[in-house]
């Protein structure tokens, strides 16, 4: 089966064993069991057997609906507050991206087709954001003085055989807080480890965040085509202005990405 967004992973840097976002300072890509940087938690399906949700991305928090059509062997996802997405054929074992309507949030699911239900099933799936999976909380002293921090991560094509082409990334939604997120591709070529920065307050050399303010696919940052198992480093920058005095709970941002397969 072809690659999908379910196969495109965001992976920790910081060495082969790293699973700590605070250590994502560039360097060798993690290969640990927890290498993938997940976005949201999702409760397990109850009666839709044979389906495991590995990750959820870009959904509103709360209850959505996952529907299995036994006649057509398809899954369809409706996020909270959204519309039902296109039905996805899951008749073959593998990883699938089940997306809500109008490019809404998605579920990344692992399907074992031989154990799917024999009748139609509808399950409620509860979504919750994962806190501090990129940046940590802002201390009061940092909010007062101002603080700029950096994280280095990787895009990785985890598909066993298929390529991804014409990949772009952008800031789909910046934070609701007073801080601002920027992104930039690493200067190193794909499949090359990023340089390591001394600490989270040190900017990666020659990476120009200010030249990039992508807000959609057309203005997005181009990522090299990724053959199966290829990876490409990229950086995130968080700027907390001096004098920030408003607390923001659930302060989140959304990265947009599109691939062609």
Q: What is the pLDDT at residue 1? A: 76
Q: Where are the beta strands (DSSP E) in the chain?
A: 8-12, 40-42, 51-57, 62-69, 74-78, 88-89, 94-99, 106-111, 121-129, 147-157, 165-173, 180-185, 221-223, 231-240, 254-260
Percent residues over pLDDT 70 in the chain:
100
How confident is the model at residue 250, as a pLDDT? 84
Local structure of 6: helix, strand or coil? helix
The predicted model gives 159-169 an average pLDDT of 95
Q: Give the residue-averaged pLDDT of 126-152.
A: 95
Measure the CA–CA gap between 137 and 247, rounded to whole angstroms: 10
**What is the rounded average pLDDT for all residues in the chain?**
95
Distance CA 234, CA 245 (A): 30
- Residue 228: name the closest of 158, 127, 151 by CA: 158
Does residue 9 carry a pLDDT above 80?
Answer: yes
Evaluate the CA torsion angle 202, 204, 210, 216 in order and state its sign: negative
DSSP 27: B
The model's confidence at residue 248, banded by pLDDT at 50, 70 and 90, is confident
What is the reported pTM? 0.93
User: 122: which 2 tokens?
Assistant: 């509808």
Band (2; pLDDT cuts 50, 70, 90): confident
> What residue spans of 119-159 are helical by DSSP H?
140-145
Backbone angles phi, psi at 88, to 5 degrees: -115, 125
pLDDT band for position 211 (cuts 50, 70, 90): confident
CB 169 within 8 A of CB 223: yes
Per-residue pLDDT tens over the stretch 38-88: 999 999 999 999 999 999 999 999 999 999 999 999 999 999 999 999 999
* Percent of residues, the chain, with pLDDT higher than 90: 91
Q: How confident is the model at residue 247 (pLDDT cuts 50, 70, 90)?
A: confident
State the pLDDT at residue 68. 98
Model confidence pLDDT, tens digit, residues 177-195: 999 999 999 999 999 999 9
pLDDT band at 196 (very low <50, low <70, confident <90, very high): very high
CB-CB contact of 251 with 133 (8 Å): no
């Amino acid at each position: 089966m072809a690659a999908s967004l379910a196969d495109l992973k965001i992976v920790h840097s910081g060495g082969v064993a790293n699973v700590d976002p605070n250590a994502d300072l560039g360097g060798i890509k993690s290969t640990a069991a927890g290498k993938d940087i997940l976005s949201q938690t999702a409760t397990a399906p109850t009666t839709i057997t044979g389906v495991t949700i590995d990750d959820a991305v870009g959904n509103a928090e709360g209850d959505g609906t996952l529907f299995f059509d036994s006649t057509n062997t398809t899954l369809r996802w409706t996020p909270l507050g959204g519309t039902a997405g296109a039905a996805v054929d899951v008749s073959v074992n593998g990883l699938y991206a089940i997306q809500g309507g109008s490019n809404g949030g998605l579920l990344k699911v692992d399907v074992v087709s031989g154990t799917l239900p024999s009748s139609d099933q509808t399950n409620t799936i509860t979504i919750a954001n994962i806190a501090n999976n990129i940046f940590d909380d802002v201390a009061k002293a940092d909010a007062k003085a101002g603080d700029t921090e950096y994280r280095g991560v990787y895009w990785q094509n985890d598909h066993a055989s298929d390529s991804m082409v014409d990949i772009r990334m952008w800031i789909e939604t910046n934070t609701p807080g007073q801080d601002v997120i920027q992104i930039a591709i690493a200067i190193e070529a794909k499949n090359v480890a990023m340089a390591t920065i001394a600490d989270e307050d040190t900017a990666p050399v020659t990476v120009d965040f200010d030249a990039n303010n992508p807000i959609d696919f057309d203005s997005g940052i181009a990522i090299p085509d990724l053959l199966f198992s290829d990876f490409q480093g990229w950086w995130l920058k968080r700027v907390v202005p001096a004098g920030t005095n408003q607390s923001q709970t659930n302060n989140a941002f959304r990265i947009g990405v599109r691939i062609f397969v």
